[in-house]
Chain A
Amino acid sequence: MRDVAVVGFAQRTMPQFDGSPTMVELLVPLFADLWEQTGWTKSDIGFWCSGSSDYLAGRSFSFVSAVDAIGTIPPVNESHVEMDAAWALYEAWVKIQTGEVDTALVYGFGKSSAGVLRRVLALQLDPYLLTPLWPDAVSLAALQARAGIDRGLWDEKALAEVVASYSGAEVADLLAEPMFADPLRKHDCARVTDGAGALILAAGDRARDVRERPAWITGFEHRVDTQSLGLRDLTVSPSTRGAAAPLDLGGLEIAELHAPFSHQELILRTELGIGAEVAVNPSGGVLQSNPMFSAGAIRIGEAAARIWDGTASKTLAHATSGPALQQNLLCLMEAK
């Protein structure tokens, strides 16, 4: 395996982006930020990969338009996934492992505010049996939250404590808020967020040229659970556990978890065996800021940045996609 590190990271998020669904206007300054961090230009990048979905804001081929932000004449080596850019990063990592390229720039973008996000996400479900019922993403997460309450794995107070750990609100005040999707209150659900994130991967000396302490990827795994909701035990996450199994999480200092609903952080902590010695989500997590198609990649960027700045020597980033934590990705990074 080649040594590959995260060496660049930029993000921009907001409740509502007043611009086009292609988000070119947002991506250009992000890329400029990355050129400043690395001293590189686009000709230093061997492979480009993005994550986005046209359904989010109703613009067909938005990912094709978005490559304007790169400047693609002469043509570049480029790919796209209709998933969070964390999976685009995985593709880029594999591309570097093949030896075909040494560097990659990965970006994700999404304008969730253009539609009704929780409804649009019903399009990612089984098209025969589920999408026709329009089970919104919040309702599906709420079915998961209640299953855990019924099983005694957590209660409403535990969910409020997760929320309070980020917002600083009083648990009693949170519990006094009305239900939105019983047993979830609005604050249990990540805010609708527009935004974009971009990262740079580099192999070996290319990484060492850019950073004193590159965030070397020492484990990169992803798994998916069945699309059949009825077959899943929603209170656990076998895909997270499966992704973690090959990783050595001993000595972990920081974990950035992509949990768009408060109870999902509890599931992830359990599956990853995260104890009190690990700082979870020093970035603030995603309840306040969850830009679709980049929030997972941003977790990787945040965890990498803690290695660069010397805060930690071993960090873990998690990304999720699909309904109720269906797909999960883990990226383990270390200083050397």
Chain B
Amino acid sequence: MTRVLSAPLEVSFDYTRSLGPVLSGFMTGLRDRTVLGSRTTDGRVVVPPLEYDPTTHEALSELVPVSSVGTVQTWTWVSEPVRDQPLDRPFAFALVLLDGADTPILHALDAPYDELRTGMRVQVRWVDEPQGHITDIACFEPASLVEPDVSASERRVETTEPVTGIITPVNLDYLYEASPEESAFFRGLAEGRLLGQRCPKCQKVYVPPRGACPVDGVPTTDEVELPDRGIVTTFCIVNVPFLGQKIEIPYVSAYILLEGADIGFLHLIQGVAADEVRMGMRVEAVWKPRDQWGTTVENIEYFRPTGEPDADYETFKDHL
């Protein structure tokens, strides 16, 4: 048995960003198959454009078109591409100085490894349907392949509305490992047991167990098995739908202080109308059928009221 439990974890979300006037102009240009740069106060053309002058810090507003053909200033070969890069087979990243620009732009370059060199001439390869995003440039390619796209203005798409925002999906892949204490807790759950740990210094019992007692900063060493019943200390009624929600709203999410524990245990309260849940209510776990158990807190479907009289506030006021 390994020391800790692990599982793949994928974190995915979209960054939805509004654009200021400069980047809006740049992205709109890309949608229309034109690369734009900004002119700085010293007369240089910077691509991609800057919102503020790097020397005087003045706001920059003048956008000027540059060529979609340029020269490689430096490059590297991505021998092992990672997820979501512009190409899913080995390719180059390069800083390319477009004709008419004074600073280079970073992008992928699709060219054979043995033909790559600093100084090589390359051109933009546009995607079929530009949207107003940096990925409208699919990549650069050697300039000799096809005629460069010089007549961009004649090929503008119908819309003239400026691009005012971008959406960038982010997908991150991890191998998530639980701490040794959490692993013991999850392994206990797979056997229908609730395992906490006691701080050797202050004697407080934590469930799920933590790597250290948050009061004393020392490892919690002694294992303590806890009953699957306790009291609701505090709770909230969830009325807001959100992505990935598994339970019908409204539902009650509560801190349950298991008997003998010193910290609330987060779980669901069901088997009672949401508006009848109250602080001090005594509850017990409702487990899924044993053949569905795993190393997960979902083995407990929810907690339900036991019907016993509520606990006195004085008995749990220190655990809120």
Per-position binary interface string of chain B over residues 1-43, scored 1 when its CB falls under 8 Å from any chain A CB and 0 otherwise? 0111000010100010101000100000000000000000000
CB distance from A154 to the nearest CB of B (A): 14
The answer to whether B168 touches A150 (Cβ under 8 A) is no
Bound-state Cα–Cα, A130 to B134, Å: 8
B 168-192 to A, binary, CB cutoff 8 A, 1 in contact else 0 = 1010111111111110000000000
Q: Which residues of the partner chain A approach B170 to less than 8 Å between Cβ atoms? A: 123, 131
Q: A116 to B172: give the CA distance in the assembly, Å.
A: 9
A294 to B267, CA, bound (A): 36
Chain A residues whose CB sits within 8 angstroms of the CB of B177 once the complex forms: 18-21, 114
Report how many residues on chain B are interfacial, defined by Cβ distance under 8 Å. Answer: 65
Which residue of B is nearest A113, CB measured? B175
Residues in B neighbouring A229, C-beta threshold 8 A: 95, 106
Do B74 and A127 touch across chains, with their CB atoms under 8 A apart? no
Q: Which of A96-144 contact B (CB under 8 A)?
A: 113-116, 118-120, 123, 127-136, 139-140, 142-144
Which single member of A55, A58, A116, A134 contacts B176 (CB below 8 Å)?
A58
B50, B95, B133 — most chain A CB neighbours (10 Å):
B95
**Nearest B residue to A119, CB-CB:** B82
- Are B23's CB and A128's CB within 8 A? yes
Taking CB as reference atom, which chain B residue is nearest A116?
Answer: B82
Q: Which residues of chain B are near A28, meaning CB under 8 Å?
A: 211-212, 217-219
- CB A138 to nearest CB in B, in angstroms, measures 8
Question: Among the listed B84, B95, B135, B215, which residue makes an inter-chain contact with A73, where contact means beta carbons less than 8 Å apart?
Answer: B215
Residues of chain B within 8 A of A147, CB atoms compared: 73-74
Q: Whole-angstrom distance between the alpha carbons of A183 and B29 in the complex? A: 34
Among A20, A24, A231, max chain B CB count under 10 A is at A20
Residues on A with beta carbons closer than 8 Å to the beta carbon of B215: 71-73
**CB within 8 Å for A132 and B168 given contacts A20-B178, A24-B212, A71-B213:** yes
Chain A residues near B178 (CB-CB < 8 A): 20
Binds B, one of A62-70, A203-211, A250-258, A300-308: A62-70
- Which residues of chain B are near A115, meaning CB under 8 Å? 172-175
Q: Which of B54, B106, B180, B217 contacts A70 (CB 8 A)?
A: B217
How distant is A194 from chain B, measured CB to nearest CB, in Å? Answer: 10
Per the bound structure, the CA–CA distance linking A234 and B174 in Å amounts to 31
Ordered by A's residue number, 26 sampled pairs between the chains whose C-beta atoms are within 8 Å are: A20-B4, A22-B211, A55-B172, A58-B172, A58-B174, A59-B176, A68-B210, A69-B212, A71-B217, A71-B218, A115-B174, A116-B82, A120-B172, A127-B17, A132-B134, A133-B85, A133-B86, A133-B108, A133-B135, A134-B82, A146-B74, A150-B118, A181-B78, A182-B79, A228-B48, A231-B103
Q: What residues of chain B have their CB less than 8 Å away from a CB belonging to chain A?
A: 2-4, 9, 11, 15, 17, 19, 23, 46-48, 50, 54, 73-80, 82-86, 93-95, 103-108, 113, 118, 133-135, 166, 168, 170, 172-182, 210-219
